[in-house]
A and B are shown apart, each in its own frame.
Chain A
Amino acid sequence: MKKNIITWFITFGMMFSSCSMLDIEPTTSWTSANIPTEEAHLEGILYAGYSRLQSALRINFLVYGEMRAEVFYNNAFNVNIDKVIANKLDNGMALASWQTFYEAIKQANLVLEYTPELLENGVIEEATANPIMGQAYVLRAYTYFYLVRIWGDVPLITEPFLSYNDLRDVSRTPQDQVFVQIHSDLQQAVKLIPASATGRTTFTQASAYAIDAHVYAWEHDYEKVIEQADFVLKNNNYALSSLYSTSINVNDKDFKEKLHASEFARIFNEGRSKESIFELAFSMDDGDDNQYLSSYLSGSFPIVRPNQAYAETFDDADWRAVVAHEMASNGLYKVIKFTIGFSSDVDTRNIVLLRLADLYLLKAEAIAHLGDSDEHRREAMALVNRIRNRAGGPGFEIPEAEFMNREVFTAEYLKDFILEERKFELCYEGHRWFDLVRWGKAVEIVKERAGIDIHPLSIVWPIHIEEVRRGAGVEQNEYYK
């Protein structure tokens, strides 16, 4: 008996004494050591990048891109939104944090780090690797473009942090250098993404060109804008969705319903239209719970409403207004562009970030900035009129006689006209504030139309206080010091 026990004890002890038993790996997740090893992993990491961008922009595409302009007023007293609309930003607002944007960049960097490795090891082939990498490049570039537009100089991270040992203090990189990186990423992307990729909810060649055009516009490099925009405009995978139709009459009883059912309205409410270049996909099936659009814009007590003065700048002949907003019985406007026929029980809506009409007008803007010759005018206004024609038919176009009249259409007026046209076309799509900043008119127009003073230094957002506190090297924007 005694002997047995001892033997048993020793065997038992030996059995467990082996230290390798402490090598355990998670069974329901991966570790840094065992992922990515296959194509599906890379895709998962890439799509997570899209998903992070989604989180960063789900309503914030409006917060960062439009709310600081003259467009909205705060309807339900939401403290943070109030600060944005009043242009009184502070460094403690969650909105001042760039965390989610950098999470998207993190995922893109991972793809760019690992795909070449897997390619080299022969795990995947070029045909699969290229589109994945190409998308990651666009994702990174586009995210940086948002970062720069919001915060100015930002830390430029192009390699993933994989381990504790990789951590280091990074200071803010000057915008110019970030732009160099963005252009280079986008150029890489168009080489890698096949022309056959035509999805609307993932990045394509066209979306890379469109973003690049926007970045050049931001840098005021107008020739480049035209060059990049043309790649998209010539791509016959994209066409303007229709709105104006001779079969619809303003006096029709169901005029509004007809417009709400138009191709143009369906860009935003159905998604994946022929005009769409890039949109963030939201779906209930994906677990998205995008009630933001209705609670912010169109619910019974929306957080923001368009200023009446703003809403009334729309021409009566401009059919886009009918799709964009409506006046409720109480005389107040609300935005319906994304929520026509919306029922939060069953619906989500994609958020269209880039579409063809934007590129039409961006090109017009570039042309107008390049010169004021007749040819320039004709070319620019042809683009604008194409958009106006869709909005209100031939009668809504500006006749050549009119825009060639330099007395009325001064060089400045023409440019303003294009800026204004962008406002009507792209209203509530998260462009207005960025447009004003790009045109250098933010301070002027917001003062003039909303009576809000903006200090030029406060055009950039504050960096979240936590970020400043945590890092050696991340310095606060001047205005918020």
Chain B
Amino acid sequence: MLKPAYSELKRLTNYDHDKGQTIQFMKNYELNPHLDFDRTVFSKRYTIRTYLMISFMLYSALLLAGNGYSQSINLKVSRAQFETVVHELHKQSGFDFIYNPSAISGASDVTLNLQNVELTEALNAVFRNQPFGFVINGRTVIVQPREGRRTVLQSRIVEGVVTDRNQVPLQGVTVSLKGTRVVTQTNERGRFSIQLEAGHSVLVFSMVGHESKEVTARVGETLSVVLFESMDDLDEVVVIGYGAQAKRDLTGAITSISAEDMESNPGATINSALQGKVPGMQIVTTSGEPGAGSNIKIRGASSISGGSEPLYIIDGVPMEAENISSIDGDASFSPIANLNPNDIESIEVLKDAASGAIYGSRAANGVVIITTKGGNKFGAMAPRATFDHTSSIVSISRKLDVMNGEQFRTAYAEARANNGQPVTQLWVTNPHHPYYNRTTDWQDVIFRTAYQNSNNLSLRGSSDRFAYGISLGYRDLQPVIVHTGYKQLNMRGNFTYKLSKRVSAGTNVSYTDVDYNRILSSSSNNYSALRAAVFTNPVFSPYDPLTGELTDWLGQREMRNPLAMAQKVPISFFRRAVTFNQYVSAELARGLTLRTSLYTNISTVKQSSFQPKEFDSATPRRDFGKYSENTANKLVNENTLTYDRKFGKHRLGAVIGQSIERDFSENLRLEGENYIDSKVTPIQNASRFSAITRTESERIMLSFFGRANYNYASRYLLSFTLRADGSSRFGPDKRFGFFPSASAGWRFSDEEFMRFAKDVLTDGKIRGSVGVTGNQSISNYAWQGSFSASSNRYDGHVIINHNSLMNTNLGWETTIQYNVGMDLMFFKGRVNLTADAYHKSSKDLLFNFPTNYYTGFSSVATNFGNIENRGIEFLIETVNTDNAVRWETGFNISFNRNKITDLPQGDDILISGYSLGRVGKPIGIFFAHQALGVYDRDESNVYYAPDGTIGQYRKGASTGEVFKGGDMIWADLDGNGVIDDDDRTIIGDPNPKFIAGLNNRISYKGWSLSANFYWSKGNMVMNELRRRRNQMTYTGNLGQDALKRWRQQGDVTDFPMIRYGDAMENFRPSSFSVEDGSFIRLKEVILSYSIPADYLRGLFVNSINAYVSGTNLLTWSKYSGYDPEVNSSTNPFVQGVDNGSFPKSRSFNLGIRVQF
């Protein structure tokens, strides 16, 4: 269906802006009968189809209008040189002229006066008195002698354009004349011209990552060559720790993601791009807020202390990723949100120990290596500017069903009555009062449909000695919550330069600026806007129904007005970061390179919040403000010596190196009260400071590392690494950790005995590795214990609290990982399969272990316990069709089984109420009561004691309250008739059984359609939001599900009675609140179109690509909350808890990318 439309468009555009072209087509045809021009007569249908094309045409038309070329020629010359005239014609028409300077030596001067004539007419006039003639070929005018075909051959020039499948010109394609030494390269417009030699007419086109092509050329013709990306990517270079390696030679488990896989929406992040693409990598964002933090696990959680984040290496610099928490502690922000996804060239995820061990201490959770674009390679690349723009319409992907005013009124009165309390509130007793007689769905008040856009401009190019990439990005991401705003500015410059033949150097600089105006998004804080959207009493209206004014409080000062809060409570988040990286590398001897680098960054986060008086519930009211400033500074010096040589079939590589890293941070936090003005609220306007805290923190890490690789004919591969890391975080005896690894690979497909299968199995490799990695994510100085002065005083005296215990035994957490894997390539890359199986066991886990309160501490930093992760991962990539239509599919699936294998004394640990650690069970499994239903009437509560007596089930103690009709029936596991702590059991596992991703891309000429799915199966979610609503600890709206609640004796239902304050704890954490969080999400669909290079020829635009896409379009899930994927905690121990974070948004995007 696409096919005819496209080909007609091509003709149409040709015809449209090059009137008279048909004539030249004919001429060409006569000249070169072998040229493969489509001779079909235009169909009348095209005019109708045109309309379909309008949206895309619009862009090109706009550009054409401004191109400065004119199809009608004005020429007024007198005795002008022929060349000058040609130049003028070129300028006016945009047509290229090809001629041999010697051929025009006999040209006579030209005198002409032409007004508004077509090009052909002008050419005819110019060439009229010349000893040579011309032919037009496409948009090229070839000057040739008049004598006829004999001399035409003499010029022997062939020219043409090389594009990729999407009609984007390819620069740097090597064009060689087969059998000769004649060779040339395509320029930035993908164009080339080459001189044929007698007896040779086959041109070979080749380029890395693309399949080579041979074309038989004829003199004078213009070739249009399309190079397909090669399916066989074994020569592709993969970035590994301190170096790069051909994919062919890898022995570890590494997954590469290229720039193309980045998402298309303005809010795209690295994490969202990686999700569903890397087998074994589970990414759960803490909320849908811009820049939100994530909970990332590569091959399962192997740590408890809050450090399950992988190590990020950005352009060679390690960045330990700790989420940044907001000033009110209600949200966390991703440390890598300051990277512009548009700047990313490739991402490599190192999953096994052998790949990661060179990063030693911090690689236990995997390593993510990010390489930014530009300035990487030398070579002749003319400056190329690229502009991207994306516009999006964004809205929340789901709304919850809340009660309407009448339903809630009834429910509330009932909830109070169940406590024996009379209801006196006006909104219940006086339902027809104009203030209370309507319903507000506060979600409609708090959420909005927002417009977001992102813009990027980049300039990249290189010469033999200098390569550069400069980019500028600006994103305006209005969140879907009213009165919020997010703006991010990114700048980056990457430069590489060759100082001499053997010495080269590079500089990377970047700047990020984030300005975010937010409102509270999660946490238990009762004025979080988002919770307010669901919890606020529906009988209240945001505006006074009589005066139409926005009120600060609802009812009779019963509840804050979330809309007024959103408008009047300013919470700001600023983040600025500057990075600078300089390196020099020198080739000391053949194959031996010394590289030294120095990296530094400064990043500042400034946050402030202010709560005006009018929202204070105390009397008299006060206002409160907070201001905090965190500055972090990192310094890394790294020195490596690399050796890489090939001796015949032996290839030897080695790296030794040493690095030192210093992290320094400074925090200032001020809290003030009683501002002199509620509009202008810098912190100094507070009349009193209630807290002033300033802290500094420093960490130093000293490391030595080395790696040796050996391979024989890429068939037998061996690699060893060793790293020693010393960290100031640990006690003097425990400082240094040693992290060795070994891996081996065997390319069995290259063996003699496999030759028979070569047609089917193009390439096959098995690999195995074992290695040790570490983790040091515990706070600085943790081993030393801490005493600190508080910002408070006692009676004017400074106070010094003993905050944490010393632990001289505190040392590295280590993980041993075994990995076996297989890479198979069938049918020359049509089918690629990678499979990995691993076993990871982590011991001496770093953890703030809960202590008894009688110690005066609530936890102590220590190493304890073992965790094991086992799993298998598959990645299958296929090219289903590869003719005019190319259809590629990538599918990955991974299964991970997590188990705690040891805890001190085998004791259970319980974190935040119900996340359990128990030997033999997965980490963070839910441990709470089992709900069996609801007592339909009081008499249904009967307990048969083992001694034969009959009693009733009681709550908490043998003297506790008896459960009545409407209360939850709990499983009494110990059979003692008392429902207490001993009756808790495992009620669900937040870990998914598997996660999978399915990515499809279909391309046809300039069109491409891709769809990405992400699937998580079997993960349970604790729906805290719903549980807390039902508890009714204060007046908050309920969900529609509470309509089926138990109301009177005899009601048979599974939803207990609602009772203000939930005295019988019917809504305690239990299986009632645990839901299946499995989901399949259609993450993104993109339809894009590239305008064929042909039509852009002669324009200053090189390529144009436009797309429409949708993000988070569909989610299939049984989960009743906003989003089954949200986990409110960044602690890896606490998983699958939905406290009602900011939901993910759905966006519809329209984008364009123009390359100049």
A residues with a Cβ closer than 8 A to B are: 1-2, 5-6, 9, 12-13, 16-17, 19, 21-33, 35, 40-41, 43-45, 47-48, 50-52, 54, 77, 79, 82, 90-91, 97-99, 102-103, 105-107, 110, 154-155, 157, 160-167, 169-170, 201-202, 281, 283-289, 291, 294-295, 299-301, 343-345, 455, 457-458, 464-467, 469-471, 474, 479-481
A28 in complex: contacting residue of B694, B806, B852, B856, CB < 8 Å: B694
A458 and B293 alpha carbons, distance in the complex (Å): 46
When distances are taken between beta carbons in the complex, the residues of chain B under 8 Å from A48 are: 790, 794, 799-802
Residues of B within 8 A of A201 (CB): 795
In the assembled complex, the CB of B423 is this many whole angstroms from the nearest CB of chain A, namely: 11
Interface positions of B from 753 to 785, Cβ below 8 Å from A: 780-781, 784-785
Contacts of B726 in A (CB 8 A): 19, 22
Please indicate the chain A residues that have their CB under 8 angstroms from the CB of B807 in the complex: 163-165
| Neighbour of A161 across the interface among B732, B801, B805, CB < 8 A | B805
Chain A's closest residue to B797 (CB) is A47
State whether the Cβ of B145 lies closer than 8 Å to any Cβ in chain A.
Answer: no
Which partner residue on chain A sits nearest B666 by CB separation? A28
Q: A24-B698, A344-B620 are in contact. Are A286 and B796 (CB under 8 A)?
A: yes
Q: Do A19 and B735 form a contact, CB below 8 Å, given A51-B799, A281-B795, A288-B792?
A: yes
State the Cβ distance, A56 to closest chain B Cβ, in Å. 12
Task: Give the chain B neighbours of A32 by CB distance below 8 A.
Answer: 784-787, 805-806
Chain A residues closer than 8 Å to B858, beta-carbon distance = 99
Q: A27-B696, A344-B622 are in contact. Are A285 and B802 (CB under 8 A)?
A: no
B5 close to A (CB within 8 Å): no
Instruction: With A48-B801, A294-B618, A480-B957 as known contacts, state yes or no: A163 contacts B796, CB within 8 Å.
Output: no
Ordered by A's residue number, 7 sampled pairs between the chains whose C-beta atoms are within 8 Å are A22-B700, A51-B799, A106-B856, A162-B806, A285-B796, A458-B959, A479-B959
* Contact residues in A for B735 (Cβ distance below 8 Å): 19, 22
Does B700 lie within 8 Å of A21, measured CB to CB?
A: yes
Given known pairs A344-B622, A345-B620, A465-B981, the reply for A9 and B596 (CB within 8 Å) is yes
Contact A90 B702 (CB under 8 A): no
The answer to whether A291 and B792 touch (CB under 8 A), given A30-B786, A41-B800, A102-B856, is no
Task: Select from chain B the residue with minimum beta-carbon distance to A292.
Answer: B618
Q: Collect the chain A residues with CB atoms within 8 Å of residue B797's CB.
A: 43-44, 47
Q: In whole angstroms, how far apart are the Cα atoms of A97 and B735 in the complex? A: 37
Q: Which residues of A contact B810 (CB under 8 A)?
A: 164
CA of A288 to CA of B728, assembled, Å:
36
B728 to chain A, nearest CB (A): 4
The reply to whether the CB of B392 lies closer than 8 angstroms to some CB of chain A is no
Do the beta carbons of B798 and A164 come within 8 Å of each other? no
Residue of A nearest to B853 (CB): A99
Assess the A25–B781 pair: CB atoms within 8 A: yes
**Are B852 and A170 touching (Cβ within 8 A)?**
yes
**Alpha-carbon separation in the docked complex, A282 to B656 (Å):** 61
B residues near A79, Cβ cutoff 8 Å: 1033, 1061
In Å, the complex CA distance between A385 and B637 comes to 82
Known: A29-B787, A163-B785, A474-B854. 15 other contacts (CB 8 A): A5-B588, A9-B596, A12-B639, A16-B702, A22-B727, A26-B697, A28-B695, A29-B803, A48-B801, A98-B854, A161-B805, A161-B857, A169-B852, A300-B619, A480-B957
Contact of B808 among A21, A163, A288, A465 (CB under 8 A): A163
What's the Cα separation between A118 and B732 when bound, in Å? 26
Are the CB atoms of A470 and B852 closer together than 8 Å?
yes
- Kindly list chain A residues whose C-beta atoms are within 8 Å of the C-beta of B620: 343-345
Q: Within the assembled complex, what's the spacing in Å between the Cα atoms of A51 and B736? A: 40
Dominant secondary structure at the B interface: strand
Q: Is the CB of B853 within 8 A of A97?
A: yes
Instruction: Chain A residues near B785: list those with CB within 8 A.
Output: 31-33, 162-163
Q: Whole-angstrom distance between the alpha carbons of A23 and B851 in the complex?
A: 28
Q: Which of B688, B695, B787 contacts A35 (CB 8 A)?
A: B787
Q: Does B674 contact A (CB under 8 A)?
A: yes
B381: min CB distance to chain A, Å: 29
B906 to chain A: closest CB distance in Å?
12
Chain B hits for A33, CB < 8 A: 784-785, 806
Instruction: Tell yes or no: B855 within 8 A of A by CB.
Output: yes
**Interface status of B632 (Cβ within 8 A of chain A):** no
Q: Are B860 and A26 in touch, CB under 8 angstroms? A: no
A23-B728, A283-B796 as given contacts; A31 in contact with B781, CB under 8 Å:
yes
Most chain A CB inside 10 Å of its own CB: which residue of B673, B784, B798, B1033: B784
Given A22-B735, A300-B619, A455-B959: A30 and B854 within 8 A (CB)? Answer: no
CB closest residue in chain B, given A2: B588
Contact call A26/B809, Cβ cutoff below 8 A? no
Picked from A154, A162, A294, A466, the residue with its CB within 8 Å of the CB of B805 is A162
How far, in whole Å, are A447 and B290 apart by their CA atoms in the complex?
57
Instruction: Decide: A107 near B802, CB < 8 A? Known: A13-B639, A299-B619, A480-B957.
Output: yes
Judged by a CB distance under 8 angstroms, whether B35 is at the interface is no
A409 to B697, alpha carbons, bound, how many Å?
A: 70
Are A9 and B698 touching (Cβ within 8 A)? no
A77 vs B942: C-alpha distance when bound (angstroms): 32
B524 part of interface (Cβ distance < 8 Å): no
Q: Which residues of A contact B34 (CB under 8 A)?
A: none
B786-A26 in contact (CB<8A):
yes
Are B696 and A289 in contact (CB-based, < 8 A)? no
A87 to chain B, nearest CB (A): 12
Contact of A285 among B793, B798, B853 (CB under 8 A): B793
CB of B588 within 8 A of CB of A160, answer no
A residues near B790, Cβ cutoff 8 Å: 48, 51
Shortest Cβ distance from B1035 into A: residue: A77
CA distance A284 to B850 in the complex (A): 33
Does the CB pair B854–A287 fall under 8 Å? no
Residues from chain B with Cβ under 8 Å of A170 in the complex:
852, 854
Measured in the bound complex, the distance between the Cα atoms of B854 and A170 in whole Å is 9
CA distance A29 to B798 in the complex (A): 13
Q: Considering the complex, give the chain A residue whose CB is closest to the CB of B640.
A: A9
User: By the criterion CB–CB under 8 Å, are B798 and A47 in contact?
Assistant: yes
| A132-B691 Cα distance, complex, nearest whole Å | 27
What is the CA–CA distance of A67 and B274 in the complex, to the nearest angstrom? 56
Q: A16-B660, A25-B781, A107-B801 are in contact. Are A286 and B792 (CB under 8 A)?
A: yes
> Which of A6, A105, A345, A467 has a CB less than 8 Å from the CB of B852?
A467
Let me know if B796 and A287 touch, CB within 8 A. no
Whether B971 is near chain A, meaning CB under 8 Å from some CB there, is no
Q: Contact check, A21 vs B702: say whether CB atoms are below 8 A apart.
A: yes
A154: nearest chain-B partner, CB-CB = B854
B973 in the interface, Cβ–Cβ < 8 Å?
A: no
Interface residue B421 (Cβ < 8 Å from any Cβ of A): yes
- When distances are taken between beta carbons in the complex, the residues of chain B under 8 Å from A288 are 792
**Most chain B C-beta atoms within 10 Å of own C-beta, residue among A29, A97, A299, A471:** A29
Kindly state whether residue B890 has any CB partner on chain A within 8 Å. no
Which of B620, B689, B699, B862 has the most chain A CB atoms closer than 10 A to its own CB?
A: B620
Q: What 0/1 readout, one digit per residue, does chain B (680-716) give for beta carbons within 8 Å of chain A?
A: 0000000011110011111110100000000000000
Find out whether the CB atom of A82 lies under 8 angstroms from the CB atom of B788.
no
Instruction: Return chain A residues, CB-CB under 8 Å to B788.
Output: 28-30
Taken together as a complex, chains A and B put the C-alpha atoms of A457 and B803 apart, in Å, by 36
Inter-chain contacts of A90 with B (CB < 8 A): 956
Q: Is B112 an interface residue (CB 8 A)?
A: no
Judging by beta carbons under 8 Å apart, are B794 and A160 in contact? no
Closest to B692 in A: A287
The answer to whether B702 touches A19, judged by C-beta atoms less than 8 angstroms apart, is yes
Determine if A105 and B856 form an interchain contact, defined as CB atoms under 8 angstroms apart: yes
- Distance to closest chain B CB from A293 (angstroms): 11
Across the interface, name the chain A residue whose C-beta is closest to B588: A2
**Contact in complex: A77, B1060 (CB < 8 Å):** yes
On chain B, the residues within 8 Å of A25 by CB distance are: 781, 784
Tell me how far the C-beta of B292 lies from the nearest C-beta in chain A, rounded to whole angstroms.
29
Listed from nearest, the 7 A-B pairs whose CB atoms lie closest are A106-B856, A44-B800, A32-B785, A164-B807, A31-B784, A29-B788, A48-B799
- Which of chain A's residues has its CB closest to B695's CB? A28
Across the interface, name the chain A residue whose C-beta is closest to B419.
A77
Interface flag for B64 (CB, 8 Å):
no
